[in-house]
């Protein structure tokens, strides 16, 4: 796509996203700055209440426990499904079926993200989750009763479709209800709960439970979330895009508390929506039209490329194939116990991300995490290279676990931060439609990475495979350094409206 000289000049000055996402006049800009000042004054009077935001974001984050369990499920059940003592009728899984079992959930999740655009825009992220969570529960129940390989794959596919819909809805809801001062922590909580889900399923695998019972327990985690979501209001920002301003005001009052003046924040949201046109009801057609504007399209295309590349940095492969990787490394520790260690590190990493992403900034967190991940994977590749050339590497059997621990920790700092930036860079006017599209890209990358890992490992060897993943980490870090703007403490509407290069940006205390 060709860019104008103005766009090229902006990029050369380090301005990733020129101010073309929503065209506004100088008078509108001055009005927006005035609203920002009023909002800042409101925040200095009484701080927004934390408890309602923690409750709302916490319920949305609980959705991610089930998603983490679905992602980690194959990592601990593949050994059962490839042995003769499996309870499946007919035959055990061969290599192709193993690859499909691990990756089909991501393939169908890609479809689910696209399907989810309609309900997310029309009904909002909260109602979308309420519709899809019972379907997710039915997928786990179906898996429990599966007795043939096609039934198992179909059940995994159903789980994937609902995950695709729920993933973007969960992130959108949390992003849109959170105050700018704690938005990084709130969105980070989603990733933390997802990693807890991975840890839980790893722990279930270490208990010796059958793959059926592990799946049934995964389904049990869905029911409490359905009950809790019923009592929460819609996202205030989604309500504004539907022209339901009075309901949006009540929703903001619920999430900011009775002592906080939400007038300026509501006005700021409404201003961006009104900038799209006279029709404040942003239907799918209207949102798609706005997405095709040059500035907005540029943001979406960049995030698409970045998210696709990020899925080949080894994160999902380690999650989906953790036990087979550890068994191939021939470490002295039991592979299932080691998987629990790695799962625990995933939780620690996301908690650390949650704690300091609002303090050190998004860009430094992304740079440090992906560079360190690259070094860890390259080192792991060297271990597998030595192992292929020398019979006895017992003195170095601590290396693969250490590499995986370091990689996992920093990966669980980098990827949650990347998810946070995704929601922040998307304008409110298109977030309901654009978020599912970007999530479909993410799950598509999950599928390709998970599906191709066995093929890459057999053709390139484990060493070559991890070297490629390490190189991709370096590419993501380079792209981050060159173009990602710093969004810490920025009001969501400001991120879409203002240029990165401006130094005097309105910040909310």
Instruction: Tell which residue, 165, 92, 472, has the closest CA to residue 317.
Output: 472
Average pLDDT of the chain to the nearest whole number? 79
Tell me the C-alpha distance between 46 and 294, whole Å. Answer: 39
Concatenating the DSSP letter of every residue in 172-230 gives: HHHHHHS-TTTHHHHHHHHHHHHHHHHHHHHHHHHTT--HHHHHHHHHHTHHHHHHHHT
Angle between the N-to-C axes of helices 398-425 and 335-360, in degrees from 0 to 180, rounded to the nearest 10: 40
**Per-residue pLDDT tens for 291-309?**
777 777 888 888 888 888 8
Confidence of residue 447 (pLDDT cuts 50, 70, 90): confident
434 neighbors 114 (Cβ within 8 angstroms): no
- The average pLDDT across 313-334 equals 85
For residue 492, what pLDDT is reported?
54
Highest mean pLDDT among 242-256, 297-311, 485-499: 242-256
Q: Taking 90 as the threshold, does the pLDDT of residue 339 lie above it?
A: no
Tell me the C-alpha distance between 208 and 483, whole Å. Answer: 47
For residue 393, what pLDDT is reported?
65
Non-local (6+) Cβ contacts of 415 within 8 A are 191, 310, 315
Q: Taking 90 as the threshold, does the pLDDT of residue 468 lie above it?
A: yes
Instruction: Tell which residue, 241, 200, 183, has the closest CA to residue 57.
Output: 183
Flag the least confident range among 12-26, 125-139, 216-230, 421-435: 12-26
In 279-289, which positions are buried (b, 16+ CB within 10 angstroms) versus exposed (e)? ebebeeebbee
For residue 135, what pLDDT is reported?
94
Give percent of the chain above pLDDT 90.
20
Flag the least confident range among 99-103, 123-127, 385-389, 411-415: 385-389
**Per-residue pLDDT tens for 96-145?**
888 888 889 888 988 888 888 888 888 999 999 999 999 999 999 999 99
Highest mean pLDDT among 80-89, 141-150, 278-287, 349-358: 141-150
Flag the least confident range among 189-193, 472-476, 491-495: 491-495
Tell me the C-alpha distance between 218 and 365, whole Å. Answer: 31
Q: Taking 80 as the threshold, does the pLDDT of residue 89 lie above it?
A: no
- The average pLDDT across 174-189 equals 83
Looking at per-residue pLDDT, the higher value among 472 and 283 belongs to: 472
Instruction: Tell which residue, 60, 95, 107, has the closest CA to residue 316.
Output: 107
Flag the least confident range among 18-22, 97-101, 314-318: 18-22
pTM: 0.69
Tell me the C-alpha distance between 205 and 256, whole Å. Answer: 41
Looking at per-residue pLDDT, the higher value among 198 and 158 belongs to: 158
Q: Which residue has the tokens 């360190």?
A: 372
How many helical (H) and strand (E) elements, i.e. helices and strands, does the chain have?
21, 0
Confidence of residue 195 (pLDDT cuts 50, 70, 90): confident
Residue 83 DSSP class:
S
State the distance between the two ends of the chain, measured CA to CA, in whole angstroms. 39
For residue 371, what pLDDT is reported?
94
146 neighbors 158 (Cβ within 8 angstroms): no
- The average pLDDT across 268-276 equals 72
Q: H or E segment at 107?
A: helix 95-115
For residue 443, what pLDDT is reported?
82
Q: Taking 50 as the threshold, does the pLDDT of residue 255 lie above it?
A: yes
For residue 275, what pLDDT is reported?
61
Residue 196 CA, distance from chain mean position: 14
Concatenating the DSSP letter of every residue in 290-353 gives: HHTSHHHHHHHHHHHHHHHHHTTSSHHHHHHTHHHHHHHHT-SS-HHHHHHHHHHHHHHHHHHH
Looking at per-residue pLDDT, the higher value among 2 and 166 belongs to: 166
**Per-residue pLDDT tens for 360-381?**
778 888 899 999 999 999 999 9
Q: Taking 80 as the threshold, does the pLDDT of residue 501 lie above it?
A: no
- For residue 258, the tally of other CB atoms under 10 A from its CB is 8
Looking at per-residue pLDDT, the higher value among 105 and 40 belongs to: 105
Tell me the C-alpha distance between 199 and 347, whole Å. Answer: 8
For residue 38, what pLDDT is reported?
41
For residue 321, what pLDDT is reported?
86
Tokens of 415: 């990827």
Flag the least confident range among 117-121, 284-288, 412-416, 440-444: 284-288
Residue 509 DSSP class:
-
Tell me the C-alpha distance between 326 and 9, whole Å. Answer: 49
């Amino acid at each position: 796509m060709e860019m104008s000289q103005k766009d090229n000049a902006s990029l050369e000055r380090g301005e990733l996203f020129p101010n073309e996402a929503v065209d506004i006049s100088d008078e509108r800009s001055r009005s927006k700055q005035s609203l920002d000042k009023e909002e800042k004054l409101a925040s200095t009077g009484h701080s927004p209440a934390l408890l309602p935001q923690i409750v709302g974001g916490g319920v949305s984050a609980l959705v991610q426990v089930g998603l983490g369990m679905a992602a980690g499920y194959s990592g601990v059940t593949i050994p059962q499904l490839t042995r003769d003592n499996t309870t499946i009728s007919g035959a055990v899984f061969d290599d192709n079926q193993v690859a499909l079992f691990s990756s089909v959930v991501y393939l169908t999740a890609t479809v689910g993200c696209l399907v989810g655009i309609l309900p997310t825009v029309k009904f909002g992220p909260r109602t979308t989750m309420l519709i899809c969570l019972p379907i997710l529960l039915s997928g786990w129940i179906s898996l429990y009763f599966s007795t043939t390989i096609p039934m198992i794959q179909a059940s995994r596919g159903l789980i994937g479709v609902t995950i695709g819909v729920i993933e973007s809805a969960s992130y959108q809801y949390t992003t849109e209800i959170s105050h700018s001062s704690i938005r990084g922590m709130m969105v980070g909580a989603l990733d933390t709960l997802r990693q807890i889900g991975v840890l839980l399923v790893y722990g279930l695998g270490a208990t010796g439970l059958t793959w059926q019972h592990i799946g049934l327990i995964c389904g049990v985690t869905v029911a409490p979330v359905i009950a809790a979501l019923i009592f929460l209001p819609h996202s205030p920002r989604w309500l504004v895009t539907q022209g339901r301003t009075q309901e949006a005001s009540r929703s903001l009052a619920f999430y900011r508390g009775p002592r906080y003046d939400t007038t300026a924040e509501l006005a700021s949201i409404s201003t961006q929506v009104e900038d799209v046109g006279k029709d404040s009801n942003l239907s799918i057609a209207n949102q798609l039209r706005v997405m095709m504007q040059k500035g907005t399209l540029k943001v979406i295309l960049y995030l698409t490329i970045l998210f696709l590349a990020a899925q080949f940095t080894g994160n999902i492969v380690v999650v989906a194939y953790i036990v087979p990787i550890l068994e191939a490394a021939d470490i002295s520790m039991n592979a299932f116990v080691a998987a629990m260690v790695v799962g625990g590190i995933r939780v620690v990493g996301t908690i650390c991300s949650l704690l300091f992403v609002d303090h050190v900034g998004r860009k430094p967190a992304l740079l440090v995490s992906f560079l360190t991940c690259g070094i860890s994977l390259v080192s792991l590749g060297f271990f597998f290279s030595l192992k292929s050339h020398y019979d006895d590497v017992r003195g170095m059997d601590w290396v693969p676990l250490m590499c995986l621990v370091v990689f996992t920790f920093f990966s669980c700092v980098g990827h949650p931060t990347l998810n946070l930036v995704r929601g922040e860079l998307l304008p409110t006017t298109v977030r309901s439609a654009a978020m599912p599209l970007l999530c479909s890209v993410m799950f598509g990358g999950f599928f390709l990475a998970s599906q191709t890992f066995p093929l890459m490992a057999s053709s390139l060897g484990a060493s070559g495979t991890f070297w490629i993943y390490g190189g991709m980490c370096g590419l993501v870090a380079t792209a981050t350094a060159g173009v990602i703007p710093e969004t810490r403490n920025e009001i969501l509407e400001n991120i879409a409206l203002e240029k990165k290069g401006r130094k005097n940006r309105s910040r909310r205390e």
